[in-house]
Structure 1
Amino acid sequence: MSELLVNLSMVFSKPTGISNYALNLFPFLNNLNPTLLASQNYPDFKCYQIPNNLTPAQGSKGHLRRLIWTQFKLPQIYKEFSAKLIFSPLPEAPISANCRYIVQVHDLIPLRFPNIKSPLTNYFRYVVPQVLKQAQHIICNSESTAADITNFYGISTSKITPILLAHDTNHFQPNSSKSNPSKPYFLYLGRQDKYKNLHGVIQAFADLANHQNYELWLVGSKDKRFTPTLEIQISELGITNQVKFLDYVAYSELPNIISNAIALVFPSFWEGFGFPVLESMACGTPAITSNLSSLPEVTGDAAILIDPYKTPEITAAMQQIAEDKEMRSQLSLLGLKRAKQFSWEKTGLATVELLKQFI
C-alpha cells in the first residue's frame, strides 16, 4: 500500500526539460514514502515496474502508448495500491477513473504556437482542460505559466501554485578546466522547434560586425522537421564554416561547453521556465534572452533582455558582449549571484509541502 504514486513514465536516458525536472525533484519526496512508477529501479525508493516504451524517445508512438497507459493502466495501479494521490510531473492523468491527482504544467506552447497537424496541439486543446479541471491542484513552473493556465482554460488562480524550478548546483558551476576553442563562440542550447527562434539566432550572428572572428555553437538534438531549413539558411548566409551543430550533448559535458562560451543566446518566443538561461548564469556565462514569458522571472537583472521578434536587438546585444569585456565580467557576477537563489532543494521542499495538503 502506498498513499502517493509518482508517475515517471516520461523519463528516458537522454533527459531534457520535463525528464530533468522529474529526476531532480523526486529524491526530495522521500519523506512522503511514495511509490515510483518507473521503467528502471531507483535505490532507496519503492518502485513499481512499468514499460520502458512510453517516453519521448519513441516519438509520437511513445506519446500515444503513454496516453493509453495513463488512461487505462494507471487507474488499475491506483486501485491496486489503494493510493490517495498521484503526482504527475506533466499534465497527464486518468480522466475517466475516480483517481485523485496533482499535475505539473510546464508551459502551454502547443496552444500559443498551434500546429493543426501536431497531436500535441489537439491534446492541449481537448484533453489537458479535462485533466486540469479534475485535478485536486495544479503546480506550474512560473507566474507566466500560471497566467496562461488561467487565460487559456479559465481555471481559478486559487487552484494553481507556481513553484520555480532550479538547476543542479553541484553540476552547473564555472568550469575550471577551460578548453581552448579555435575561436570565441556564442552558444544556443535547446531544441530546434520554430518557437525557439533559431532562425533569429543565426541571422543575428551573420549580422555581427567581424562575425568571421567568432563561431556559433548549436547544442541540441537534430530534428528532421527543423534542422534542414536551418542548414539552408546557414548556407545562404555564407557562414557554414562558423556554425557548429553539436547535436545532443551529454549532461556531464554541459558545464564545460557553457562556461567556455562568450555568451548564451536564447531569444525564444516563449518559455515556461527556461533551464538553459539559469544553467548559463550558474556557470558564470552572460545570457542574452527574451523579455517575454517566464524568462525575466528567471534572470531578474542578471541578463541582457531583448525583444525576440527584433533580430537587430539580438545582434546588438551580441556585439555589445563581444566588444565589452567589463560588461561580460559584470553579467557573469550578476548571473552567479542570481543563480544562487534557485535550488532543487527549495523546489522539492515547496512541492512536498503542497502534496502533504492533499494526501
Structure 2
Amino acid sequence: MEIGIDASRLAVSQRTGTENYAYQVIRGLFRADRTNRYTLYFNGPPPRGLFDALPPRWKIRAIPFSRLWTHIRLSLEMLLHRPRVLFVPAHVVPLVHPRTAVTIHDLGYLFYPEAHRRFSRWYLQASTRWSARQARRIIAVSAATAHDIVEHTGVKADKIRVVHHGYDARFKRVTDEAHIKAAKQRIGLLPSERYVLYVGTIQPRKNLVRLIEAWAKLGEEVTGYKLVLGGKPGWLYADIYAKVRILGLEGYVSLPGYIEDDDLPALYSGASLFAFVSLYEGFGMPALEALACGTPTLVSNTSSLPEIVGDAAILCDPEDVDSIANALRQGLTDEALRERLQIAGPEQAVKFSWQRCAEETLAVLLEASKA
C-alpha cells in the first residue's frame, strides 16, 4: 500500500511543537512499518541531513510552490499521483485528497482567541473544522484534545483516536556538571547561577506575562534565582518582552531566544524548577521532557497538562497570579516535595514513547485506508 505524508513541517531549521512531532513520528514509522511504501511530500528541498538515510520503500517528493502549497500544489499531487492514504501531521487537509488521517493538536484559538491575530483565528477555525470533517480518522494528541474536537467541530467520537506524543530518549537526568555549566553559559547564565526554566514559543497563550508577574510578586524570596524564558518569539510576543521592562526585571528575567536541542537535557537537569503555566495545551511536550530529566515541574491545572503529568508535578491556576506565585514558592522551598517529584517525574515520563506513538499512528493509518 502507498502511504503519503505531508512532510512540509520539516522544511525548517529550528523544529518546535508540530514540526518535532512530525519528525519523530516519521522516524518511528521507519522502524514500525517494513511492509508499506511511503512518499514524503515537501514544499521545498528538505534540510540537509534531516534523516541519516531513508529506509527501503521510502522516497522524498519535493514539490516547491510559492503560496497556498497545501491546497494548490499538494492537491494537484493528490490528483495526479494519489496514494492509498494520506497522513497530515498538523491540522490542514488539502482540498483534493484521498482517504486521510489528520492530527489535530489543539483548539486553543477557540478558548483564548485574544492570544491569536484575527486572521490566524479565522484560518485556524476554518481549516481545523474542514480537516476534522474531511478526514477518515482524526488523531488527537490527548484525551483533552479529543473531547474538545467532539465539542467544537461536530464530528463523532468514533472517528477520533487518542495517540499521545513520546519524548526523545536523550531527555534524561544529566549529572555531568561541566556539561550543565557549558549549556548555561551558551544561554548567557553564569556557571553557578540558579534558575527557573520555561521552554517554548514566546507567545501569549503560554501565559508568560502572568508568570513574570508572579516572579515579581515573590521579590526577595527568589533572590539568587533567574527566571529563564527560552524560546523563539512567536506571534504577539512584544507585550511579554515589554512586561519585563515595565516591572524592572531586566536583571532577573532572561530571554535567551531559541535553545538548541542539544542543550535542552542539560538545561532541564540544571534547573531548580521547570515552570509551564500555559493557558491551554493540546499535549505539553516541554513538561514531559522536564519530567524525564527529573526536574521538579510546575504546570497549569487546565487542558491536557494534568493528563500528561499525572501526580508527578505541581499544579496551579494559570489565570491567578497568586496561585502561580504560591506554586513557584512551593516548588523552590519544599524539599520533601522536590525529592518526591525528582523520582516521580521519570516514572511518569516512561509511560510515553515515540515508538509507541508511531506504532499507534500506523494502526490509525491502516484504519483510515479502509474507512
Q: Given the two structures, how large is their TM-score scaled by the length of structure 1? A: 0.90
CA offset at residue 193 of structure 1?
Answer: 1.5
CA offset at residue 357 of structure 1?
Answer: 2.1
> What is the identity, as a one-letter code, of the residue corresponding to 1:255?
P
Q: Report the secondary structure of 1:28's partner residue.
A: helix
Q: Mapping of 1:26-175 within 5 angstroms?
A: 26-30=26-30, 31=33, 32-38=36-42, 39-40=45-46, 42=51, 43=53, 44=55, 45-51=58-64, 65=67, 68-95=68-95, 97=96, 99-115=98-114, 117-169=117-169, 171-175=170-174
**CA distance in structure 1 between the partners assigned to 2:110 and 2:118 by the alignment:** 11
**CA distance in structure 2 between the partners assigned to 1:262 and 1:98 by the alignment:** 48
Stretches of 4+ aligned residues off by more than 4 angstroms: none
| 1:253 pairs with 2:253 | no
**Change in 2 beyond 3 A, CA 1:98/1:48:** closer
CA offset at residue 83 of structure 1?
Answer: 1.2
Which residue in the other structure is 1:60 paired with? none
Equivalent residues of 1:75, 1:99 under 8 A apart: no
**CA distance in structure 2 between the partners assigned to 1:321 and 1:126 by the alignment:** 40
CA offset at residue 214 of structure 1?
Answer: 1.1
CA offset at residue 222 of structure 1?
Answer: 2.8
**CA distance in structure 2 between the partners assigned to 1:183 and 1:253 by the alignment:** 16
More displaced stretch, 209-218 vs 338-347? 209-218
Q: Report the secondary structure of 1:172's partner residue.
A: coil
Which residue in the other structure is 2:186 paired with? none
> What is the identity, as a one-letter code, of the residue corresponding to 1:232?
A
CA offset at residue 238 of structure 1?
Answer: 2.8
**Change in 2 beyond 3 A, CA 1:214/1:148:** same
Match of residue 218, structure 1, among 229, 234, 239: 229
Pick 1 or 2: higher relative contact order, CA cutoff 8 A, min separation 6.
Answer: 2
**CA distance in structure 2 between the partners assigned to 1:35 and 1:331 by the alignment:** 43
Which residue in the other structure is 1:275 paired with? 285
> What is the identity, as a one-letter code, of the residue corresponding to 2:302?
L
Which residue in the other structure is 2:254 paired with? 244
**Change in 2 beyond 3 A, CA 1:325/1:145:** same
Equivalent residues of 1:28, 1:352 under 8 A apart: no
Q: Unpaired runs of 5+ in structure 1?
A: 55-64
**CA distance in structure 2 between the partners assigned to 1:126 and 1:274 by the alignment:** 24
User: What is the total number of aligned residue pairs between the two structures?
Assistant: 342
Give aligned-pair identity as a percent.
Answer: 32
Match of residue 324, structure 1, among 315, 329, 334: 334
Which residue in the other structure is 2:214 paired with? 204
> What is the identity, as a one-letter code, of the residue corresponding to 1:305?
L
Equivalent residues of 1:308, 1:314 under 8 A apart: yes
More displaced stretch, 135-144 vs 313-322? 313-322
CA offset at residue 317 of structure 1?
Answer: 1.5
Equivalent residues of 2:297, 2:331 under 8 A apart: no
**CA distance in structure 1 between the partners assigned to 2:38 and 2:147 by the alignment:** 30
Equivalent residues of 2:230, 2:255 under 8 A apart: yes
**Change in 2 beyond 3 A, CA 1:223/1:270:** closer
CA offset at residue 158 of structure 1?
Answer: 0.5
> What is the identity, as a one-letter code, of the residue corresponding to 1:222?
P
CA offset at residue 16 of structure 1?
Answer: 0.4
1:234-291 residue CA offsets vs partner (Å, 9 max, x unmatched): 2332321111111001110111111100011111110000011000001110110011
Q: Report the secondary structure of 2:256's partner residue.
A: strand
1:59-100 residue CA offsets vs partner (Å, 9 max, x unmatched): xxxxxx2xx2211222332243341111000111123x3522
Q: Unpaired runs of 5+ in structure 2?
A: 182-190
> What is the identity, as a one-letter code, of the residue corresponding to 1:151?
E
* RMSD of aligned alpha carbons: 1.8
1:298-333 residue CA offsets vs partner (Å, 9 max, x unmatched): 000000011111111111111122222232111010
**Change in 2 beyond 3 A, CA 1:143/1:304:** same
Equivalent residues of 1:277, 1:289 under 8 A apart: yes
**CA distance in structure 2 between the partners assigned to 1:280 and 1:312 by the alignment:** 23
Equivalent residues of 1:186, 1:214 under 8 A apart: yes
CA offset at residue 28 of structure 1?
Answer: 2.6
CA offset at residue 150 of structure 1?
Answer: 0.9
Equivalent residues of 1:218, 1:245 under 8 A apart: yes
CA offset at residue 224 of structure 1?
Answer: 7.2
CA offset at residue 155 of structure 1?
Answer: 0.9
1:78-135 residue CA offsets vs partner (Å, 9 max, x unmatched): 243341111000111123x352211100001122222584332111232322222111
Match of residue 244, structure 2, among 231, 234, 248: 234
Q: Report the secondary structure of 2:223's partner residue.
A: helix
Equivalent residues of 2:137, 2:367 under 8 A apart: no
Which residue in the other structure is 1:57 paired with? none
Equivalent residues of 2:298, 2:331 under 8 A apart: no
Which residue in the other structure is 1:62 paired with? none
> What is the identity, as a one-letter code, of the residue corresponding to 1:114?
P
Equivalent residues of 1:277, 1:287 under 8 A apart: yes
